[in-house]
Amino acid sequence: MTDEDAIAADSWWHEWNALAACLAVSESKGWRQDDELPTMPRQAAKAQSHRPLLDPTDLPFPAMVTRLVSRSEAQSNPKAAEALRKEFAGLSAKCWDEKKRRSKADVMAEAKRTGVEVQFSAVHGIVGEKGSELPEGDPRRKHKGRRVLLGNRVFNQDLATATFSDLGKAPTLLEGARLTDAYGCIPGHSIQQADAVQAYIQAPMRGPKCWVTLPREAVQNPSFYYQVQSPVVELIVALCGHPDSPTFWEMHCSEQVKKAGFEALGPEWPSVFFHPQLRLLLSIYVDDFKLAGPIGNLDGGWELLRKLIEMEDPGPVGLYLGCQQRLMTIEHARGTVVEHDVSEVSNPQSPPQFPRSGGPAAKGEWAEVRRQKKKTAPIVNVMVYDMEAFLDQCVGLRYRAQPFRIRRSTIKRRALLWN
């Protein structure tokens, strides 16, 4: 054996001893190794049961959730039936035209003959009761009818499941809403908000035609409508429930906003627009519009938007995406903060006018600016995000539902801690 072979054998022996030592330590710790190779210590995974989708709770019913009324109750309860009738009566002329009803067999035969794809689905009415946890007679407890398209049952003339473009939707991000709030806090600016009225049905349908079957409560003229077998009507607007309705509304809304003179802020700011002439910043979250900018230009901006989009009357910022928002002014005076509602400040403080020229001639002007700042306390506009009312409702409902109930496990745990 040569010297090189001896050195190689000695090196291999040391490596083998090190490997054996690692394996011995691993076995003593109870770790499992694959292929007898040293690895990082790990433990065997324990089999887990199916993860529960709903966490256990002491509440006997979901809190602050609209109760879905069953179909039998909707037919027997006069208030629920009236809410559903009003919902369909207001949509009959907007979403479809009963005078143009056709037989489903005729529409399918025509589509197969021409080779043009059409879609078929059905309209379904649902009723929800808001404030069901409130006592009877409370004005906040009311029934609300809704109409939806059965988006999970859309098929074409060959009875195959329909395919959609799946373009997706891009409502404004949280940063976009906060950007609008920050822009509205600039001195001389303000913020207002408004909701679009039945947003989806303002957007026309795009793509293949969709023919729907109406429920009996939605038919306004039954004697004429049911003269044909299996009558269907063409869906004119993007009804809620259609997989592409959010996309159709976003495309329609974006087109109308741009017609009003607003320009998109950029792809990194979805659904955020700016009007260069009026210097207004607009943030849109589905049907919630928030407009910020100079106080004197807000009315003009809303007027441009409401000419193209049906909206409610704009008002001061308030409940937005479940959060109560208030535009306030804070006054810093000797370390204290005094809050004022914006409506209470008739003459908001204007920013100081700094000298534009330099040199020795401007020293006196700068001294005057410093004296002015010492005399007047700075006033700053701020946006307050208040969730106290929601938290109070949640806690109050929890203890009204079960005021004296305590888990036995909680009592045992407290007893162990005291002992």
| 40 within a domain of the structure (yes/no) | no
% of the chain residues with pLDDT over 70: 65
User: Does residue 47 carry a pLDDT above 90?
Assistant: no
| 251 within a domain of the structure (yes/no) | yes
Q: What is the pLDDT of residue 348?
A: 42
| Same domain flag for 154 and 111 | yes
Domain containing residue 398: 327-418
| Contact of 355 with 362, CB cutoff 8 Å | yes
| Same domain flag for 252 and 365 | no
Q: What is the pLDDT of residue 267?
A: 84
| 55 within a domain of the structure (yes/no) | no
Q: What is the pLDDT of residue 60?
A: 54
| Contact of 151 with 242, CB cutoff 8 Å | yes
* More confidently predicted of 393 and 371: 393
| Same domain flag for 278 and 194 | yes
Choose the final residue of a domain: 261, 289, 316.
316
Residue 217 binned pLDDT confidence (cut-offs 50, 70, 90)? confident
285: domain CATH number is 3.30.70
Structure tokens at 296: 């004197």
| 13 within a domain of the structure (yes/no) | no
For the chain, what is the radius of gyration of the CA atoms?
Answer: 33
| Same domain flag for 231 and 250 | no
Q: What is the value of pTM for the model shown?
A: 0.66
User: Does residue 123 carry a pLDDT above 80?
Assistant: yes
| Same domain flag for 287 and 331 | no
308's CB contacts (< 8 A; 6+ apart) are: 256, 257, 259, 260
Hunting for tokens 């490596």 — which residue is that? 15
- The residues that bridge with 280 in the sheet, in sequence order, are 275
Residue 346 binned pLDDT confidence (cut-offs 50, 70, 90)? very low
Which of 272, 283, 264, 265 is closest to 193 using CA atoms?
283
Q: What is the pLDDT of residue 159?
A: 83
Residue 328 binned pLDDT confidence (cut-offs 50, 70, 90)? confident
Number of domains comprising the chain: 3
pLDDT tens, residue by residue, 102-112: 999 999 999 99
| Same domain flag for 250 and 185 | yes
| Same domain flag for 83 and 147 | yes
pLDDT tens, residue by residue, 146-173: 888 888 888 888 888 887 766 566 677 7
How far is Cα 359 from Cα 319, in angstroms, rounded to an integer?
Answer: 51
| Same domain flag for 214 and 280 | no
| 46 within a domain of the structure (yes/no) | no
| Same domain flag for 261 and 310 | yes
Choose the final residue of a domain: 260, 290, 316.
316
| 352 within a domain of the structure (yes/no) | yes
| Same domain flag for 192 and 271 | yes
Provide mean pLDDT across the span 349-370: 50
Q: What is the pLDDT of residue 350?
A: 45
Which of 119, 125, 14 is closest to 71 using CA atoms?
125
Of the listed ranges 8-17, 43-52, 141-150, 308-317, the one predicted with least confidence: 8-17
| 72 within a domain of the structure (yes/no) | yes
Q: What is the pLDDT of residue 33?
A: 47
| Same domain flag for 186 and 306 | yes
| Same domain flag for 217 and 122 | yes
CA atoms within 13 A on the CB side of 352: 17
| 21 within a domain of the structure (yes/no) | no
